[in-house]
Structure 1
Amino acid sequence: MTGDTGETAAAEDRPGPEGGDGGGRGAVVRARRIVVKVGSSSLTTAAGGLDADRVDALVDVLARHADAAGREVVLVSSGAIAAGLAPLGLAGRPRDLARQQAAASVGQGLLVARYTASFARYGRRVGQVLLTSDDTSRRAHYRNAYRTLDQLLSMGAVPVVNENDTVATDEIRFGDNDRLAALVAHLVRADLLVLLSDVDGLYDGNPATPGTSKIAEVRDPAELAGIDIGSAGSAGVGTGGMVTKVEAARIAAGAGVPVVLTSAVHAADALAGRSTGTYFHPTGRRAAGRLLWLAHASAPVGALTLDDGAVRAVVERRTSLLPAGVAGVEGDFAAGDPVELRDTRGRAVARGLVNFDAKELPRLLGRSTHELARELGPAYEREVVHRDDLVLLQQ
């Protein structure tokens, strides 16, 4: 295994525990490092406060499986905003970002305190890790996030990961913890992602409608074409729904991580490899380092229009983007921000971290790096977007 983290052992080669029903879920029972995501509706009461019994039931499953099989568990947990509603006297999830952040500030402490007490029953420590997309699309931040999580796991702690709702802005939000979980699974080189909610799998229609059936396995995203996946959940305390879970499963499976999607009450069966929920087979190979984050977690704050030659160089030859190939600049961005790379028809072909401020670029367009170095100094003899900070978008 290679990439920004410098790891060497391939997750696919790790030995795993025996067992399971053999129904195509061998990767589940072999998994050693697992990311489990649980939604707000599986942890809270109807009034919005934390349900201690539900939290304890989940921890019972996670701790016992970790102890019995020598597994490492990373928990991506929603519930911070929901947990903060009742203490702040809020009747429901607020729409404005400021009050969401206030609720998250109160609720995050309550959530982690509950997990800390619950895991302590098994002698397990808990470490809180709060992330924004900005923490993980930049190279140094990505490495630091990986090292923190890996160190917690090596010391026997359970990382509890959540989006840093108290400081995240609209521009640096993941948007939902399902997608965050898929990206964390990639970040820590997990062998398995388990998505837990209040629905026991993916159905070919509304589960409440007679005649609909649960989909046991998904081998290719194309199999879901024409299926009504629905929209956000109706519980009122979370932001996700089946559509976000399927998208998260697609991201993780596309990066080589198998996924089980089921309800929280079936968590034990899911981790044991039994036929519960919906199993998403891996459809791709693990991407290098943080490029998956750049593709799925970053929000472009500007755009660069490339001439035809630059598009071919970036897309077909996978080269860096040089000033000579840039035909236009849009947006107000700073060096290090994510920007969209477009062809002359306005179609997005790639995304990358730019090396110049927006106000610097106009005088550089169409000129060679050697010419710029002679005129402006050696600091300008560099790429607009380096190929290591660039990811192609699916066409």
Structure 2
Amino acid sequence: MSQPVTSRSATRERIAAAGRVVVKVGSSSLTTARGGLDPARLDALVDALAVRRAAGSQVVLVSSGAIAAGLAPLGIGKRPRDLATQQAAASVGQLALGHAYVASFARHGLQVGQVLLTSDDVVRRAHYRNAQRTFDRLLSLGVVPVVNENDTVATQEIRFGDNDRLASLVAHLIGADALVLLSDVDGLYDGDPRRGKANRIDEVADDADIADVEATTNGASGLGTGGMASKLSAARIASAAGVPVLVAAAGDASAALGSAEVGTAFAAHERRMPARRFWLGYAADAAGRLRLDAGAVRAVVAKRRSLLAAGITEVSGAFEAGDVVDLVDPDGKVVARGVVAFDSAELPGLIGLSSHELAPEQRREVVHADDLVPLRAR
């Protein structure tokens, strides 16, 4: 059991009182080191979720573990690297995982529903709205949705990458009041606690609080795809969308879903980001990227102005007018995203030119301010 935090903050009170909560649990928190589900761990998680439900909250569970659960039945000793074997393991493991959740939630008289998503379901606007309707109806019927990436059919091109990101996108999609990320680590540290002394960070009010944090990219068990880096990225996405986040150990699930006085709490930005702007900034896939000079970066990020051709120094990728592109600074860091108004074949001939140097039909914004989202928290 982890040590509780030293004080109760407004962020933790908001998480504890949230009426609609998304909870994500990692593979290592549900399975044994050799693969296969750990019934005691799964039941303990479900018990904590049931208590939160009984207190009046709606709960959506984003659960990893399908691939890991399929390893033992298939006689595979460790997580496979090739996509085909991962998908085969997911096909076997998803049934075992679903059955285990049905049986465990039934102990509390709760019905569960499986929701398998690919990134297309939150990247494409029509799919996004359909997913919203599905979640809303399940929750209105009193069902606990259990969500996972559809590993059986997802390709490298349409994968979320990890379920932490998936959970942050689902949190915005359903209008959640809080996101709880559970794993084998009891919070965010200012260093790797496995390599020596490191201090847990109790509260993150903004990016300045974690400017010097170097998060790991992989978990310790080797069964999952995430790590603290993915949780930090997911927390930033959710908090930018107006959803407070708690990162805690799965063993502390009862406290995390109760008083929320464990782990690391991330404060939400004051305003919930509108659905289109959130989709543009965090859910949609970028078809290319535009490198900007320093002046254009200031105009786009600080002044929220439209991007003009004069501020672009390089174009990469193949895209059409209307696609989403990343806008990067001179060092290659993504600073914004937007809907581009030119094709990639046309744009290289325009970069660096001022408006009076362009033909009349080309004198328009490359990315209009209304279709642009700065990404300071990315």
Question: Common fold, TM-score beyond 0.5?
Answer: yes
Q: Secondary structure at the match of 1:82?
A: helix
Structure 1 pair 341–176 and aligned structure 2 pair: CA distance change class (3 A)? same
Q: 1:38: which partner in 2?
A: 25
| Structure 1 residue 162, shift from structure 2 partner | 1.5
Contact 2:124 2:284 survives alignment (8 Å): no
CA deviations over 1:86-145 (Å, ceiling 9, x no partner): 222222111122222222222222212221222122222222222223321332222222
Q: 2:15: which partner in 1?
A: 28
**Structure 1 Cα separation of the partners of residues 320 and 32 of structure 2:** 44
Contact 1:84 1:107 survives alignment (8 Å): yes
Contact 2:123 2:285 survives alignment (8 Å): no
Q: Secondary structure at the match of 2:138?
A: helix
Q: Secondary structure at the match of 1:86?
A: helix
Q: Secondary structure at the match of 1:87?
A: helix
Contact 1:172 1:299 survives alignment (8 Å): no
Structure 1 pair 153–356 and aligned structure 2 pair: CA distance change class (3 A)? farther
Q: Secondary structure at the match of 1:29?
A: helix
What TM-score does the superposition give when structure 1 sets the normalisation length? 0.78
User: Which residue of 39, 46, 52 maps to 1:59?
Assistant: 46
Q: Secondary structure at the match of 1:212?
A: coil
Identity of aligned residues (%): 61
**Structure 2 Cα separation of the partners of residues 343 and 220 of structure 1:** 21
CA deviations over 1:250-291 (Å, ceiling 9, x no partner): 222222222111111111111112421222222453111043
Pairing 1:1-395 to 2, within 5 Å after superposition: 23-24=8-9, 25-67=12-54, 69-208=55-194, 211-303=197-289, 316=303, 330-333=316-319, 337-341=323-327, 350-353=336-339, 390-394=372-376
Structure 1 pair 303–136 and aligned structure 2 pair: CA distance change class (3 A)? same
**Structure 2 Cα separation of the partners of residues 147 and 198 of structure 1:** 33
**Structure 1 Cα separation of the partners of residues 328 and 188 of structure 2:** 35
Q: Could you tell me which amino acid in structure 2 is paired with residue 33 of structure 1?
A: R
Contact 1:82 1:237 survives alignment (8 Å): yes
Range with greater deviation from structure 2 (359-368 or 102-111): 359-368
CA deviations over 1:134-157 (Å, ceiling 9, x no partner): 321332222222121111111111
Q: Secondary structure at the match of 2:113?
A: strand
Q: 1:12: which partner in 2?
A: none
In angstroms, what is the RMSD of aligned CA positions?
3.5
Q: Could you tell me which amino acid in structure 2 is paired with residue 160 of structure 1?
A: V
Range with greater deviation from structure 2 (282-291 or 328-337): 328-337
| Structure 1 residue 386, shift from structure 2 partner | 6.9
**Structure 1 Cα separation of the partners of residues 281 and 132 of structure 2:** 18
Q: Could you tell me which amino acid in structure 2 is paired with residue 392 of structure 1?
A: P
Q: 2:354: which partner in 1?
A: none
Range with greater deviation from structure 2 (189-198 or 88-97): 88-97
Residue segments in structure 2 that go unaligned for 5+ positions in a row: 352-357
**Structure 2 Cα separation of the partners of residues 80 and 393 of structure 1:** 32
CA deviations over 1:23-54 (Å, ceiling 9, x no partner): 11211222110010000000111211112222
